[in-house]
Structure 1
Amino acid sequence: MPRPNVIYVFADQWRAQAMGYAGDPNVKTPNLDVFAAESVNFRKAISGVPVCCPARATLISGQRPLSHGVFLNDVCLPNDRRSIAHRFKDAGYDTAYIGKWHIDGHGRKSYNIPPERNRGFDYWKVLECTHDYNSSPYFEGTSEVKKFWEGYDAIAQTTDACNYVRNRSPEDKPFLLMLSWGPPHDPYGTAPEQYRAMYNPDDIILPLNVPEEEVDTARKELAGYYAHCSALDDQFARLREVLRATGQEENTILVFTSDHGDMLRSHGQQRKQRPWEESMRIPFLLRWPAGLGEQGRATDALLDVLDHQPTLLELCSIECDGALEGLSFKAAAKNNAVDADYAALLACYHPFGEYERRNGGQEYRGLRTQRYTYVETRGEPWLLYDNDNDPYQLLNLVSNPTHSDIQHRLSSLLHAKLDSLGDRFEIGETYCRHWGHPIDEWGTVPVFD
C-alpha cells in the first residue's frame, strides 16, 4: 500500500467538551459527531502547555517548550529546528499549510513571513495571526503582496484546501496538508449570521462549574463560541466530501484537533494557560480507513500535542529522528493500547498575557493521569481532582487527608518526571533571560504589528 496522504485540520481554542459527541447539550456539530463515530477518538487528549504559540511550536517542531524556547506568545521558533514539513518532505511528500501560523514572532497581521522561515512547506497561504475573521489577510508563497480571504476566513481557507485536494492527481506524491483555522478563538460574536442565529444565550445550559456571578457573561460568550464551532463543523464536512468525491478518502489520514481549549468562565476563569480540563483538554479524532479500518472506536490514551508529530510519522512508516521528544501513539490508534500508568505533563513555564501575574497567573507543573489531575505551583501543591468522580473539578482534594497517599504518589511521580527532563521548575523570568525574550514587569512580550 502506498504511503497515505495526511490532512491535519486544527482549530484555535476549541475545547474537547464543546462537541455534540462529547455530551455538550448546546453545540450543534453533526458532521464532527459522525466523524467521531467513524474515527479513533482520543477522548483524553490534552494540550500540555495550553496556549497558542507554545502549543503550535511544539506541534511543528516536535519538541518541548523548554527545548525550543517558545513558552510565550509572539516569540520566534528557532530557525535551526527541523519541522514536521521537513520530515515529511524528506520522506517524499508534498507539503502545504493554509491559515494561522503564530510561531514566527516578528509581527502579526501586517508581517509577511519570509520563505527562509516557512519551515519547509511548499504550498503556503499563511498569516502569522489575526482574530478579525471577516477581514483576514494572508501572504501566498514568496510574494510580499498582502491578500485577503473573502468573507469569513475559515470558509475561504477551507475552499482553498478543497481545491488543493481536488487538484491532486494519482501520479502526484503523497501530501501533508495542514489547515489552521482561527475560530472559535474570541471574539465570539463574529461568526456568519446564519450560525449566530442558531444560538440564543438565554437557552444555553451551563456547566456546573460556572459561578453564579458569571452566568450571564458565560451564556453570551458560549452562544458566540458555539456559532463559530458550528460554522467550522460545516467546513469540515466540505473537506470530507471532496476527499470522497476524488477517491482519496480511503488512503488519507484525516485529523481534527485543536491547539488548546477555552475556560469560558468555568471556575470563573477566562481563555487558556490554566490547568483545568476546559483549558487543557482538546479533541483529537483520527481516521484512516486503509490503515485503521472503517470502524470507529474510543481510546483513553493520554495523547499530548507533543505526540502528534511522532504518531503521524510512524503511521506513515517514516522514521522518527532523535530530535523528537514526544511519544508515538500508533499502537493506541491501531489497537487501542493504553498504558494505565502513564501520566502526561502539564506546565506553565511563565504566565503572560491574560494569565499574567496581576491576573493571578503563576508558574505550575502538573500531571494528568487516567483518573487524576495534580498540579503544583513553585513550592506547594495547588490542585488535585478525581476526574472520574468529579468531572467538573468542583472539589479540590489537595491536603485532604482521605487522598494524602494519592497526593504523595503523584507529587513523587511529578518530580521524577521533571528530574528526567532536566526541568528545575525555575521562575519564568529565568527562562526568559536564557532565551533572550523581552518582557515587561507583568511578563508580557511586546507585539509589533
Structure 2
Amino acid sequence: MLHHFKKYLRTFFSCHLLLAGMFILNISCKDAKKEDTAVVTSTVPTKKPNILILLTDQWRAQATGYAGDPNVKTPNLDRLASESINFTNAVSGTPVCTPFRAALLTGQLPLTTGVFMNDVQLNPDALTMAKIFSAHDYDTGYIGKWHLDGHGRLQNVPPGERRQGFEFWNGNECTHDYNHSVYYDNDNPDRKIWERYDTFDQTDAALHYISDRKAIEDPFLMIVSYGTPHGPYHTAPKEYRDRFDPEKIQLRQNVPEKSQKRAKKELSGYYAHIEAIDDMIGKITQQLKDDGQWDNTIILFTSDHGDLLGSHGELKKQQPYDESIRVPMLLKLPAAANLKPSTKKVVVNSEDLLPTLLGLTNIEIPNTIEGTDFSSIIKNNEDLDNAALIRSIQPFGSWNKNRGGREYRGLRTPRYTYTRDLNGPWLLYDNQKDPYQETNLIGNKEYATIQSELDTKLTQRLKTNKDEFLPGTEYIKKWGYTVDKTGTIPYTE
C-alpha cells in the first residue's frame, strides 16, 4: 500500500516538475523517429528495462583488458564487453569532470548549460535524465561523485532541485580522499564517511538498491559514480597496489623518456584502482543475475574523460589527444532486444548518451536535448562514419594557460582528429596510420584535402551550434563566473 502511495506521489510530482520545467524552458517534445514496425516490435521488451550507469572518473579507453592494455587484468569488464556493444571511438567532448556530467544528465552542449569548467552549478531548472525517467515511472537513484552543485566539494547537496530529480541519494559533491570519503545519505543532512575504500562501500550501496527493487514493479534508473581511477593514484587497498611493480609497467610508445619514470609510478597506482573497480563491477553484474534482473537491465559503462599519464609528455585531461578524450563505453542491452554483441566505430559523444537511452526505451526526446539519438543504429545493427565535436572552452586547473593550455575546437572521426586553436589549424592526426598521434599533419601536402574538408565541416558544426569560438574569458564574463589568476574557478571544501 505504501509503495503504491509513494508511486502515486512520485508520478504526480515528477509529471508536474517535468511540465514546470517545460514551461520555464519553453520546450516541447520531439516526435519520436519512426522506426520499422517489425524492428520495433522485436526489440522492445514488454516491461520497461532498468537502466544502470556505471560511471568512472578519468579512465582512458586504452586501459582495459578487452582494449588490449598489457598491464591490467579486467576479467569482469572483459566479460561485460563480450555481451555488449563496444563503442571503440566514444569521446568526452569537453574532457573534464563537471562538463561531462552536465552533458550526460541534460543531453546539452556546454555553451548551452554554461557548464564548461569544474565547480560550477548545473541550473536546478535543467530538464535532466532523472526528471524525464521519473515522469515515466522510473525509480531514480544516485551513488557516489556528483560534482554538479558548485557549493563546496564536501558540502551536502540537499534534497530537492539541486539533486536534479534523483530520489535515492548516497552522494558526495567531490572528494579524492577515497579512504575517508564524505557522503550524504538520502534526507539526512549529517555528513557521513564511508567506512572502507569508497569504491567498495559505494558498490555495497548499489547492491542493496538493486536487491531492494527486485520485487518492485517499477523499473529503476541508477547511476553509480566512482571517484577512481582519478588520482591520487596510490590509494587503492594494498592487495591491489601490490599487484603492480612500476618497473614492469609497459608504457605507450608516445611517452617521452623524460616522463617515463613518473608515468610508470603513476600507472602502477592507476591500474590498482582499475582492478578494484573491475572486481566491484563483477559483484554488481552477479547481483543482477542472482536477482533475475540481468535480462531486463540496460548497463552503460563509461568514464567522464581519460588521463594522459605521460603520453605526449603531458598529464591528466582537457587536451585533445586520445588518451584524454577517448573513454571506454560498453552498452549491454536487455535480452528482449535480441541483438548480438558488436563493436562499432560510430563516435558517441557525452551529450549523445541521454537521447540514445531515451530512444532505446521509447521515450520521447525533449527539444532541449542537443545530442544525437543513436538508438536506431543500435536497434538495426548499423554503424556510422560520423564526427564528434571536441573542445576546450576555457583551459584551467592543471592545463591553465600558464601551463600551455589553450582554447580549441575540433572534430574526432573514426579515423581523424582535427583541431583549431584561436590562431587557426593546430593538430591533425591520422589515427589509423598513427594510433599514438606522434605526427602532426597540419600543413602536410598529402593531407591538404583532408584538412580542408575537416576544417569546413568544423566551421559548419560551430555555426549550427552558434559557437563563435571566442576566447574563454568572454564565456566567463557571459556566465558571471569568478576565476583566479590562472583562469580557474576556485573551490571550497
Contact 1:301 1:337 in 2 (8 A): no
User: 1 CA distance for matches of 2:380 and 2:137?
Assistant: 27
Which position in structure 1 is the counterpart of 2:359?
314
Moved more, 103-112 or 171-180: 103-112
User: 2 CA distance for matches of 1:299 and 1:293?
Assistant: 17
Which position in structure 2 is the counterpart of 1:373?
417
After superposition, residues 67-216 of structure 1 pair within 5 angstroms as 67-216=112-261
In the superposition, relative to structure 1, how do residues 236 and 379 fare at CA in structure 2: closer, same or farther (>3 Å)? same
User: 1 CA distance for matches of 2:135 and 2:58?
Assistant: 31
User: 2 CA distance for matches of 1:231 and 1:173?
Assistant: 31
Which position in structure 2 is the counterpart of 1:39?
84
**Equivalent residue letter for 1:57:** A
Which of the numbers 367, 370, 384 marks the counterpart of 1:339?
A: 384
User: 2 CA distance for matches of 1:298 and 1:207?
Assistant: 23
> Shift in Å at residue 11 of structure 1?
0.4
Which position in structure 1 is the counterpart of 2:407?
363
**Equivalent residue letter for 1:386:** D
User: 1 CA distance for matches of 2:377 and 2:88?
Assistant: 12
**Equivalent residue letter for 1:384:** L
In the superposition, relative to structure 1, how do residues 48 and 291 fare at CA in structure 2: closer, same or farther (>3 Å)? farther
- Do structure 1's residue 286 and structure 2's residue 331 form an aligned pair? yes
User: 1 CA distance for matches of 2:214 and 2:257?
Assistant: 56
**Equivalent residue letter for 1:447:** Y
After superposition, residues 296-445 of structure 1 pair within 5 angstroms as 296-340=341-385, 342-445=386-489
Contact 2:157 2:163 in 1 (8 A): no
> Shift in Å at residue 235 of structure 1?
0.2
Contact 1:115 1:142 in 2 (8 A): no
Question: How well do the aligned residues superpose, as a CA RMSD in angstroms?
Answer: 1.1
> Shift in Å at residue 290 of structure 1?
2.0
- Do structure 1's residue 219 and structure 2's residue 260 form an aligned pair? no
Contact 1:363 1:427 in 2 (8 A): yes
For structure 1, the residue ranges without an aligned partner over 5 or more in a row are none
**Equivalent residue letter for 1:145:** D
Moved more, 389-398 or 287-296: 287-296
User: 2 CA distance for matches of 1:336 and 1:392?
Assistant: 29
**Equivalent residue letter for 2:441:** L
TM-score (norm. length: structure 2): 0.89
Contact 2:125 2:161 in 1 (8 A): no
* Segments ≥4 residues shifted beyond 6 Å: none
Moved more, 113-122 or 436-445: 113-122
> Shift in Å at residue 379 of structure 1?
2.2
Q: Quick one: percent identity of the two aligned structures? A: 48
Contact 1:104 1:113 in 2 (8 A): no
Equivalent residue pairs, number = 448
> Shift in Å at residue 148 of structure 1?
1.1
Contact 1:38 1:294 in 2 (8 A): no
Give the 3-state SS of the residue equivalent to 2:201 in structure 1. Answer: helix
TM-score (norm. length: structure 1): 0.98
Contact 2:149 2:157 in 1 (8 A): no
Contact 2:339 2:381 in 1 (8 A): no
Give the 3-state SS of the residue equivalent to 1:250 in structure 2. Answer: helix
User: 2 CA distance for matches of 1:95 and 1:409?
Assistant: 43
Contact 1:262 1:270 in 2 (8 A): yes
User: 1 CA distance for matches of 2:141 and 2:352?
Assistant: 20
Which position in structure 2 is the counterpart of 1:61?
106
User: 1 CA distance for matches of 2:158 and 2:440?
Assistant: 45
> Shift in Å at residue 226 of structure 1?
0.3
Give the 3-state SS of the residue equivalent to 1:189 in structure 2. Answer: helix
> Shift in Å at residue 370 of structure 1?
1.8
For structure 2, the residue ranges without an aligned partner over 5 or more in a row are 1-45
User: 2 CA distance for matches of 1:383 and 1:202?
Assistant: 33
Moved more, 291-300 or 34-43: 291-300
**Equivalent residue letter for 1:375:** T
> Shift in Å at residue 294 of structure 1?
6.4
